[in-house]
Amino acid sequence: MTEKIELRLTSIDPPTPEPKRTIYRDITNLPDPVKLGLTIRFFNYDDVDLYFQITGSGTGYTFGTVNLGLLSHGTDAYNNLDEFASRTKPSSGNLPNGEMEETITLTLKAYTDSGYSNLKWTYERTVTIHWINSADTAFTVDVLNNFDDGTVQGWAVLAELRSALCGITTEYCLSSPYSILCWDGTSGAPAEGRYRLYKSFTTPNKSKVYAVFDLRPRTTNQYAYLKYLEIKRDDTTLVHIGKAFDTTSSHYIPNEKWIRVVVPLPPNTTLELRVILDYYSGTSPNAPMYMDDFKLISK
């Protein structure tokens, strides 16, 4: 192994090369400035334990610096970086024909001391940010599920662990009066819970197809902690946010915040889109997740 540390943005294990990583974002109705969060995976191939730190750079971006703590030699770890960077929201004029690409650089550093003063290794990773404007006339809105007719509009929920229910709610929504809500209805001993919200689609026969999700995991229960959120196309994981399940009393994904996830899809294909929430569930019903204004767009 040439590199003594490494930074990845997928669950693909070395030595398999990690493919180019692109983060897709939609400017429509985003606040200004816009915040960037992502989940990283970092590796220590050295023969000593090291203290890791990450920062970044990119034209127009402001990045934080996050101390990731001690990582034992020969191991790896995940970390979700919520609001890790910010930049002025691109204007619609910056996205000719509804799209634009830029790059950022993520810099992973490894130190021999807890004060982060004795730098031993540095690893850089370039990431592409692909902006779209789903409201641009270049795109056709093929599906809009805003649930404002008071139905679930074809979505369903399946419990992978424990139980799950779904329905329509007015509690949190992006377009009034309704959004869809999933929740765990189990009462019992604390345990891992996981459910999927899913729906089948046939994508248009266009050169570019995107799905745009607006999701809000939310729990105020002191015995419920959010562990990870995934978007899947059938059994293929497209986006993973958070960390593997454990019983630690910590959230590994943002709690009580709207999260926008954009994924590209293959054209002219019948597929199932799945939103999966994993959590540590306490002794009463908890771990709800809201979704509103789902869009399938193409051009």
Q: Mean pLDDT by 10-residue block, N- to C-terminus, for the chain (299 residues)?
A: 89 88 96 95 97 98 97 96 96 93 98 98 97 97 97 97 94 96 83 95 97 94 89 96 92 95 98 97 81 98
Kindly state the DSSP code that residue 131 receives in the 8-state scheme.
Answer: E
Give the model's pLDDT for residue 1. 58
Say if residues 259 and 215 touch (Cβ distance below 8 Å): yes
| Res 281: pLDDT | 84
Same domain, 101 and 222: no
Q: Are 212 and 67 in contact (CB under 8 A)?
A: no
φ/ψ of residue 196, rounded to 5: -125, 135
The β-bridge relationship of strands 119-132 and 22-26 is parallel
Give 17's contacts (C-beta < 8 A, 6+ positions apart): none
Q: What are phi and psi of 97, to 5 degrees?
A: 60, 25
Q: Helix, strand, or coil here: 122?
A: strand
Q: Is 223 helix (H, G, I), strand (E, B) or coil?
A: coil
User: Cα separation of 124 and 107, whole Å?
Assistant: 5
**Two structure tokens written together for 171:** 């509690």
Query: Which residues, other chains included, contact 220 with Cβ-Cβ below 8 Å and sequence gap of 6+?
Result: 256
Evaluate whether 267 touches 203 at the Cβ level (below 8 Å). yes
The count of structural domains within the chain is 2
Query: Do 169 and 108 belong to one domain?
Result: no
- Give the SS3 label for residue 94: helix
Residues 6+ apart with CB under 8 A from 91: none
Q: Residue 85 belongs to what domain range?
A: 5-132
pLDDT at residue 285, as a whole number:
64
For 93, the 3-state DSSP assignment is: helix
Q: Which residue has the tokens 């019992």?
A: 188
pTM across the whole model? 0.94
Q: Are residues 32 and 117 in the same domain?
A: yes
- Verify that 222 and 282 share a domain, yes or no: yes
Q: Final residue of a domain: which of 97, 132, 167?
A: 132
224: helix, coil or strand? Answer: coil
Q: Do residues 228 and 190 share a domain?
A: yes
Q: Are residues 40 and 128 in the same domain?
A: yes
Shared domain for 103 and 180, answered yes or no, is: no
Largest CA distance in the chain: 60
Q: What is the DSSP letter of 71?
A: E
- Reduced to 3 states (helix: H, G, I; strand: E, B; else coil), residue 84 is strand
> Which of 66, 97, 132 lies at the terminal end of a domain, its last residue?
132
**Do 122 and 89 reside in the same domain of the chain?**
yes
Q: Does one domain contain both 126 and 149?
A: no
Q: Is residue 244 domain-shared with residue 152, that is, in the same domain? A: yes
H helices, E strands: number in the chain: 0, 21
Based on the fold, state whether residues 11 and 126 are members of the same structural domain.
Answer: yes
For residue 273, give the CATH number of its domain.
2.60.120.260
Nearest Cα neighbor of 80 from 249, 239, 214 is: 239
The answer to whether the beta carbons of residues 66 and 54 sit under 8 Å apart is yes
- Tell me which amino acid residue 145 is: N
Residue type, 168: I
pLDDT on residue 176: 93
DSSP for 192-222 reads EEEEEEEEEEE--SSS-EEEEEEEEE----T
* Of residues 6, 27, 18, 24, the one with CA closest to residue 71: 6
CA distance 191 to 279: 9
Residue that is last in its domain, among 105, 132, 159: 132
Residues 171 and 290 in one domain: yes
Task: Specify whether the CB–CB gap between 225 and 243 falls below 8 A.
Answer: no
Q: What is the CATH number of the domain that holds 21?
A: 2.60.40.10
Q: Give SS3 for 146.
A: coil
